[in-house]
Amino acid sequence: MGAILGYARVSTSDQDVAGQTMRLTGAGAIKVFGDVRSGRTMERPALVALLAYAREGDALAVVRLDRLGQLLTTVAMLKERGIALLSLEERIDTSSAAGELVFHVFGAIAHFERRLIAERTKDGIAAARAKGKHPGRRPLDADKIADALSLVKAGLSPTAAAKQLGLGRSTVYREVNRAGIERYPAGAGSLETAVGFASGELDA
């Protein structure tokens, strides 16, 4: 095994990582990275720094697994990078033959969790459709798209046409490109001004 790198985390500034640091150092950690972050937040600057410092063959050590947060994601990343995981409380050492099983267990749990999420999503969509709802993006209004293309053909810019019809600017640009329409024919300025006056966007 390479170097042992410790990671300590407490939830509030009222707490101190000194106790965890002492235990990690006693377990052989040559360097300890500490975060003061709630378990609910995704930000772990010290953990990010540790992972940037670590090399293949090193080990990440924690006092307890719950110090890591996002456990399944972190464990998968450690395995991919060839970094072992040590947990003092749970007595886990994935650098050993028996400890290797832990990586496989966590991987299986992560796979199971992904399948559950996918199944819940499908169930939710099916339930919504049964109630007459249609999850996902709303279908484009064909009439509005046709009107937008007509305005662009007549000389209005795609941006102004989108604003006039209440469509997304990127939607109109995409449809204009798909239709192969030249974006800025002669006289665009005068038509755009006229439409502005008609809609009340410009003062007379």
What are the residue numbers of the active site? 11
Strands 31-36 and 59-62: unpaired
| Distance from C-alpha of 204 to C-alpha of 188, rounded to nearest angstrom | 19
**Between the CA atoms of 43, 46, 47 and 52, what dihedral angle is there, to the nearest 10 degrees?**
120
Contact status, residue 117 vs residue 91, Cβ threshold 8 Å = no
Q: What single-letter DSSP state applies at residue 40?
A: T
Q: What are phi and psi of 75, to 5 degrees?
A: -60, -40
Please give the angle made by the CA atoms of 33, 69 and 37, to the nearest 5 degrees: 55
Query: What does DSSP assign to residue 65?
Result: G
Distance CA 172, CA 159 (A): 8
